């Protein structure tokens, strides 16, 4: 195939590249004199220089070559840049291709437009220093490195016509998240999904030293990535023939797109497809100042961030900066009134062929899920407290129907835990995806499955982020203790979503849904390492009402919760529920009604004008609270108790309850002055920080939860160790009750009785290894 560029085309590409680099540098440095109409002065330089120049030319080079491809033969292409620090280059190219002006009308191709994007880059109330949700076409912020490749693979799932080009910096490639994401090629079938074209960008340096990949030889890199299952293409800048890289990159891109096309058109079975990837070597800070005061800048770590950073106060640096900027000859490329020269205009794609306008990156095709009827999987709850409800079994049956009704826009992501977490009912409809060789004895596995299991929570988080932000729906299910490994990724996504929700032109996207099961309360057999509800704590730190935490107390309420989660948009939802058989407390319709506020007084367990209020969030701690209520009523017949269930909370929950003046406000649920005991699924401090911001509320409340006390033990001993057991609750209650409810002598007798039960239980489990039958077989009898 003849892909030879003409000399005129190469010159045009060089001019486009020069323009992009100038606009990038202008954003970093200039607050005036944007076209260098006069000699550069100190007052032209921003007072604070921010940005990362070193990676920017590589970003622009790839963007330039992709745009050329789009003008020759438009394709469905998205571009994910892992190095978010290179945002000025991303913005420069969005400006060049006229995408930016679609969303920011001042970003037009005039001198005023150059001023607008340059002055406002990294400026208070202007554009941020990183790619952000305010950047058209961006689905990855990139400030924390490592997530680009997994997000790219998520974007192409069930998008068969999409090619996502993913630029991964060699610093980013050292992260654990990226290290595992290379293997996602083994889960994404090229016929029913799109293609990721990874470009590993080697400029050799991090902030102050060399990168691992940058110091590996071409042969070492080739062998490594061929072993990962890629066909590797190498493109390198040649200092002796600087223009040759344009022809070389064009040849490689043409070849890789042809190979992608050929693989997608393959008839018959596809196993272990070695799809292409590109390793691109360019100098760090390419086209910038080569050296200053004897220090090497271009091609060295010294160009990682801002070079010539004292240009505002150092005349020699100012002169060097001027020389550098003048080298781009920008005024020969750009007219302050008419815009760019025809050669550059010819390299701007049209419509959605523009990288920044890709419809998938803007979630333009997002469809709501068809949700099944929850009553199909509901259980009879007419006898409260009857054993037989498994939340995860109910959720698994529901997801089975979701898969049945939604063939192309729903996915389940999980470590190797779908069976363990009792969600395996979904395998009656779909399978686990795997495109590499399979054995005859492999179970529930095929190349086209909609469940992706991989023992890398980082990769799963990135996959679902890419899937959701391109408009589709999914669930990430994990053991509660180990989802904590993606807490930082979840924080980054929460920040992204918070800004996206405020960005008017951003399209609505489905919610990001977590299921946390195998909770610490029932990981007694696996021990202390498996007992950690910290992810919930972290998520409740997010300010606002867009992070919802669900604590269904039984299987029917779990159905109502997952229904609401999958029907929502622009949220982060976390469902924490168990997989063991537990009591039934509610009907689906009762649970739906409670979800309107998140709270409900359970009438069957409550009295009017209570002496004490019990409240809980979480299935296992709720069972303990209900048992304690039953015991208290037997011990103190005249006692009046109210029970409040918390099924859904967020960072604003108690703010709303306290500020609501009438109706279902805080006093409605918890009274004005009666003692109250909370049993919380997670850390007590998590609930305290939400509740105790309000004056006068601390003295009458006792908050229990997981207090980092665990071991290999029994499930009920986990409750005892953390002071959430029914026996502990009875003791706490009688200590808090006034004497008109329980006199001092009777109070002491009850405390002694239940302290003995605690002592006796310890002796029993040490001897027998399991909880006694009175615990295992307890049912609600009131």
> pLDDT confidence of 100, banded at 50, 70, 90?
very high
Question: Using one digit for the tens of pLDDT, what is the confidence trace for 270-318?
Answer: 999 999 999 999 999 999 999 999 999 988 998 999 999 999 999 999 9
pLDDT at 2 over 80: no
Annotated domain spans of the chain: 7-210+224-357, 374-584, 610-776
pLDDT above 90 for 737: yes
| Structural element, H or E, at residue 582 | strand 582-584
Instruction: Tell me the mean pLDDT in the region 493-505.
Output: 94
Selected residue with higher pLDDT from 732 and 130? 732
What pLDDT was estimated at residue 389?
77
Q: Which helix or strand (DSSP H or E) is residue 163 part of?
A: strand 163-169
Give the torsion sign (CA, 689, 695, 698, 701).
negative
| Band of residue 698 on the pLDDT scale cut at 50, 70, 90 | low
pLDDT digits (tens, 9 = 90+) for 387-411: 887 999 999 999 999 999 999 999 9
Give the integer Cα–Cα distance in Å for 436 and 442: 12
pLDDT at site 548: 96
pLDDT tens profile 441-465: 999 999 999 999 999 999 999 999 9
Structure tokens belonging to residue 572: 């982060």
Comparing C-alpha atoms, which of 24, 3, 114, 131 is closest to residue 68?
3
The pLDDT of residue 694: 56
Considering the domain delimited by 7-210+224-357, tell me its CATH architecture: 3-Layer(aba) Sandwich (3.40)
pLDDT of residue 697: 58
CA distance 168 to 732: 56
721-738: average pLDDT: 97
| Mean pLDDT confidence for 168-175 | 95
Per-residue 3-state assignment (H helix, E strand, C coil) for 483-497 = HHHHHHHHHHHHHHH
pLDDT-based confidence at residue 541 (cuts at 50, 70, 90) = confident
Return all residues near 233 (Cβ < 8 A) that are at least 6 apart.
Answer: 252, 255, 256, 276, 277, 278, 279
Average pLDDT of 534-551? 88
CB-based contacts of 71, cutoff 8 Å, min separation 6: 346, 347, 348, 349, 353
Say whether pLDDT at 218 is over 70: yes
Query: 244 Cβ partners below 8 Å, 6+ apart?
Result: 238
Reply yes or no on whether the pLDDT at 696 is more than 80.
no
DSSP state, residue 86: G
Averaged pLDDT for residues 527-555: 89
The predicted structure's pLDDT at residue 143: 82
pLDDT range class, residue 521, cuts 50, 70, 90: confident
**pLDDT band for position 543 (cuts 50, 70, 90):** low
Does domain 610-776 fall under CATH 3.40.50.920? My reply is yes
Q: DSSP assignment, residue 44?
A: G
What pLDDT score does 633 carry?
Answer: 96
Count of beta carbons in the 10 Å neighbourhood of residue 761: 20
> For position 3, what pLDDT does the model report?
79
Mean pLDDT of 13-36: 98
* pLDDT for position 544: 72
Mean pLDDT over all residues of the chain? 94
Helix residue ranges per DSSP H, 187-289: 218-227, 244-264
Strands (E), 329-424: 334-335, 339-340, 386-389, 410-414
The yes or no reply on domain 374-584 and CATH 3.40.50.970 is yes
pLDDT value of residue 656: 84
Cα distances from 452 to residues 253, 427, 457, 518, 573, in angstroms, run: 29, 12, 11, 19, 20
Check: CB of residue 153 under 8 Å from CB of residue 184: yes
pLDDT value of position 529? 87
Candidates 414, 415, 420, 378; CA nearest to 395 is 378
Residue 619: the pLDDT is 96
Q: What is the pLDDT of residues 634-679, one digit of tens each?
A: 999 999 999 999 999 998 888 888 888 778 899 999 999 999 999 9
The CA–CA distances, whole Å, from 407 to 270, 401, 430 equal 21, 11, 9
Sign of CA dihedral 753, 637, 735, 627: positive
Q: What is the sign of the dihedral through the CA atoms of 311, 317, 319 and 325?
A: negative
Position 161 pLDDT exceeds 80? yes
What's this model's pTM, rounded to 2 decimal places? 0.95
C-alpha dihedral over 491, 492, 497, 499, to 10 degrees? 110
State the Cα–Cα distance between residues 324 and 311, nearest whole angstrom: 12
State yes or no: pLDDT of 1 exceeds 60. no
- Where is average pLDDT lowest: 41-55, 208-222, 225-239, 535-549? 535-549
Predicted pLDDT of residue 65: 98
Mean pLDDT of 131-135: 94
> Is there a common fold for 7-210+224-357 and 610-776?
yes
């Amino acid at each position: 195939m003849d892909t030879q560029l003409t000399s005129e085309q190469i010159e045009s590409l060089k001019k486009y590249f020069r323009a992009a680099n100038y606009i990038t540098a202008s954003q970093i440095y200039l607050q005036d004199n944007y076209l260098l109409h006069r000699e550069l002065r100190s007052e032209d330089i921003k007072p604070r220089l921010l940005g990362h120049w070193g990676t920017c030319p590589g970003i622009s080079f790839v963007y330039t070559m992709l745009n050329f491809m789009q003008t020759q033969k438009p394709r469905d292409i998205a571009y994910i840049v892992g190095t978010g620090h290179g945002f000025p280059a991303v913005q420069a190219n969005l400006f060049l291709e006229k995408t930016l002006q679609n969303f920011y009308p001042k970003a037009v191709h005039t001198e005023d437009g150059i001023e607008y994007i340059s002055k406002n880059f990294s400026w208070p109330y202007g554009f941020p220093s990183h790619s952000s949700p305010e950047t058209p076409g961006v689905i990855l912020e990139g400030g924390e490195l490592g997530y680009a490749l997994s997000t790219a693979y998520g974007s192409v799932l069930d998008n068969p016509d999409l090619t996502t080009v993913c630029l991964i910096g060699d610093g980013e490639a050292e992260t654990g998240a990226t290290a595992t994401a290379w293997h996602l090629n083994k889960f994404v079938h090229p016929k029913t999904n799109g293609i990721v074209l990874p470009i590993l960008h080697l400029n050799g340096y991090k902030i102050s030293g060399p990168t691992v990949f940058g110091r590996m030889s071409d042969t070492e890199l080739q062998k490594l990535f061929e072993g990962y299952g890629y066909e590797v293409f190498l493109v390198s800048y040649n200092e002796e023939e600087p223009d040759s890289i344009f022809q070389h990159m064009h040849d490689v891109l043409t070849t890789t797109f042809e190979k992608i096309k050929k693989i997608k058109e393959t008839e018959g079975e596809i196993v272990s497809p070695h799809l292409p990837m590109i390793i691109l070597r360019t100098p760090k800070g390419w086209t910038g100042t080569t050296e200053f005061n004897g220090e090497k800048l271009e091609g060295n770590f010294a160009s990682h961030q801002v070079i010539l950073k004292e240009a505002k106060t150092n005349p020699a640096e100012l002169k060097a900066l001027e020389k550098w900027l003048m080298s781009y000859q920008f005024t020969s490329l750009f007219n302050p009134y008419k815009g760019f020269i025809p050669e550059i205009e010819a390299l701007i794609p049209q419509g959605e062929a523009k990288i920044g306008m890709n419809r998938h990156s803007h979630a333009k095709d997002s469809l709501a899920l068809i949700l099944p009827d929850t009553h199909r999987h509901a259980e009879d709850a007419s006898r409260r407290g009857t054993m037989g409800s498994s939340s995860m079994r109910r959720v698994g049956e529901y997801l089975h129907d979701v898969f049945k009704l939604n063939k192309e826009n729903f996915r389940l992501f999980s470590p190797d835990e779908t069976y363990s977490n009792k969600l395996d009912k979904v395998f009656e409809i779909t399978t686990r995806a795997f495109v590499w060789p399979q054995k005859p004895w492999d179970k529930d596995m095929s190349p086209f499955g909609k469940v992706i299991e991989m023992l890398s929570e980082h990769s799963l988080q990135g996959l679902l982020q890419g899937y959701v932000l391109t408009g589709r729906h999914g669930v990430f299910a994990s053991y509660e203790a180990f989802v904590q490994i993606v807490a930082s990724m979840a924080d980054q996504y929460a920040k992204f979503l918070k800004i996206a929700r405020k960005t008017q032109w951003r399209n609505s996207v489905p919610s990001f849904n977590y299921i946390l099961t195998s909770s610490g309360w029932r990981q007694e057999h696996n021990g202390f390492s498996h007992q950690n509800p910290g992810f919930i704590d972290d998520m409740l730190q997010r300010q606002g009402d867009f992070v919802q935490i669900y604590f269904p107390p039984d299987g029917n309420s779990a159905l109502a919760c997952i229904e609401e989660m999958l029907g929502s948009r622009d949220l982060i939802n976390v469902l924490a529920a168990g997989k063991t058989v537990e009591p039934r407390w509610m009907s689906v319709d009762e649970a739906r009604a409670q979800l309107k506020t998140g709270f409900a007084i359970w009438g069957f367990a409550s009295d009017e004008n209570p002496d004490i209020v019990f409240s809980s969030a979480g299935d296992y701690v709720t069972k303990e609270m209900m048992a304690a209520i039953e015991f208290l009523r037997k011990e103190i017949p005249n006692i009046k108790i109210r029970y409040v269930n918390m099924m859904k909370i967020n960072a604003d929950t108690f703010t709303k309850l306290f500020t609501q003046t009438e109706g279902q406000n805080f006093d409605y649920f918890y009274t004005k002055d009666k003692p109250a005991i909370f049993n919380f699924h997670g850390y007590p401090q998590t609930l305290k920080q939400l509740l105790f911001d309000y004056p006068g509320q601390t003295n009458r409340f006792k908050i229990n939860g997981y207090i980092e006390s665990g071991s290999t033990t029994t499930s009920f001993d986990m409750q005892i160790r953390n002071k959430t057991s029914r026996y502990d609750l009875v003791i706490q209650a009688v200590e808090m009750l006034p004497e008109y409810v329980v006199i001092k002598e009777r109070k002491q007798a009850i405390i002694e009785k239940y302290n003995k039960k605690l002592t006796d239980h310890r002796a029993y489990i040490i001897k027998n290894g399991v909880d006694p039958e009175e615990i295992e077989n307890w049912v609600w009898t009131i």
